[in-house]
Amino acid sequence: MICTYSRCLLIPFVKCSSSVSGPVRLLSYLTTLMMALHGKVALVTGAAQGLGKGFSEILLQNGAKVALLDVNEKGGKVLKAAFDKEYGPDRTLLLTCTVESEEQLKDAFQKTVDTFGGLDIVCNNAGIVNENNWEKCVSINLNGVVRGTYLALQHMKKENGGRGGVIVNVSSLAGLGPLLTAPIYTATKHGVVGFSRAMADASSVCDYGVRINMLCPSFADTSLLTCLTSDETAGQFISLRGVAEKMKDQFGVLEVSVVAENFLKLVTDESRNGEALMVQMQGASYVTFPKMSA
């Protein structure tokens, strides 16, 4: 059976399930060996739902093993059970942790490496909108990405004996321009872009062997969108909810699978480092940043 993401796979593949017969299982095994990310180990934060779930699934579909990190234990267990059924229990590892805790995140990275024997792909995706509790928003969206990037480099950079690899930090279109109803969210996403670009240059100059890219999607069809009109998360900007709704209508809402296909481009295109890929309804394009003469 060809999966729903087959148009973004580098080769089509056959689904593996315990009920399939010997020859089909053998074919499944052989095609898995030929897949683009076969033998690669990935780690995704905020994997239990939404975009993180989509990123994890496309990595699995392309042959990687994936550590699923999320603060939501219940949601994580439901997803792990579904992935076990589809891809087999050995392909994923569920780790309940918050990106706000250095200790918990460090432990999750170590468990991933101990279980799967290395690390090649990291997606720092966990994020929230909360203009009411803005310190928490900074703590998860920006500090969590910094923490995840530093831990990823510790395990992946060649000078530490790592295999090199790629980090994708999830920003937003609000990392490139203002989302007026969410100034703190906007600041954190701009922060992710600035931090990731500087780290990409550092990685290149220091020859870490690790590419660092940013994904900047427009509105996507996940439960995060309820934050646009919720008193709890919009805080003092709730009076602008009409403007936010209008923006959403104008930009449109992306399917998770479309964002995931573009995430895969950043993972597999080895020519890309320090690049921000914007994903909008009209298509995806790499951002041209102003050139600094130095």
Ligand X SMILES: NC(=O)C1=CN([C@@H]2O[C@H](COP(=O)(O)OP(=O)(O)OC[C@H]3O[C@@H](n4cnc5c(N)ncnc54)[C@H](O)[C@@H]3O)[C@@H](O)[C@H]2O)C=CC1
Ligand Y SMILES: CCCCCC(=O)/C=C/C=C\C/C=C\C/C=C\CCCC(=O)O
Q: Which residues bind ligand X (CB under 6 A)?
A: 45-46, 48-52, 70-72, 75, 98-100, 125-128, 140, 170, 172, 217, 219-220, 222-225
Nearer to ligand X among residue 125 and residue 203 (C-beta): 125
Query: For 219, phi and psi rounded to 5 degrees?
Result: -55, 135
Nearer to ligand X among residue 13 and residue 131 (C-beta): 131
Strand 276-280's sheet: what is its strand order?
92-96, 65-70, 41-45, 121-124, 165-170, 210-217, 276-280, 283-286
CB of 244 to ligand Y, least distance (A): 7
Is residue 185 flagged as an active site residue? yes
Nearer to ligand X among residue 14 and residue 97 (C-beta): 97
The single-letter DSSP state of residue 4 is T
Q: Which residues bind ligand Y (CB under 6 A)?
A: 129, 172-174, 176-179, 182, 185, 218-219, 224, 227-228, 251
CB of 172 to ligand X, least distance (A): 4
Q: Which does 179 bind (CB under 5 to 8 A by kind): ligand Y, ligand X, none?
A: ligand Y
Question: Which of helix, strand or coil describes residue 13?
Answer: coil
Nearer to ligand X among residue 31 and residue 72 (C-beta): 72
Looking at the DSSP bridge assignments, the partners of residue 216 are: 278
CB of 137 to ligand X, least distance (A): 10
Q: Which does 176 bind (CB under 5 to 8 A by kind): ligand Y, ligand X, none?
A: ligand Y
Q: Which does 72 bind (CB under 5 to 8 A by kind): ligand X, ligand Y, none?
A: ligand X
**How far apart are the C-alpha atoms of 117 and 95, rounded to whole Å?**
16
**How far apart are the C-alpha atoms of 87 and 32, rounded to whole Å?**
10
Question: Which of helix, strand or coil describes residue 64?
Answer: coil
Q: Are 210 and 165 in contact (CB under 8 A)?
A: yes
* Cβ neighbours of 106 (radius 10 Å): 15
Q: Which does 50 bind (CB under 5 to 8 A by kind): ligand Y, ligand X, none?
A: ligand X
CB of 95 to ligand Y, least distance (A): 25
Q: Are 98 and 72 in contact (CB under 8 A)?
A: no
Residue with tokens 């220091």: 206
Looking at the DSSP bridge assignments, the partners of residue 123 are: 44, 168
Choosing from 29, 185, 208, 286, the catalytic residue is 185
Q: Which does 223 bind (CB under 5 to 8 A by kind): ligand Y, ligand X, none?
A: ligand X
**Which pair of tokens denotes residue 214?**
């940013």
Report which residue's Cβ sits closest to ligand Y. Answer: 177
Looking at the DSSP bridge assignments, the partners of residue 213 are: 168
CB of 287 to ligand X, least distance (A): 14
Tell me the pairing of strands 41-45 and 65-70: parallel
Nearer to ligand X among residue 207 and residue 255 (C-beta): 255
For the annotated catalytic residues, the residue numbers are 185
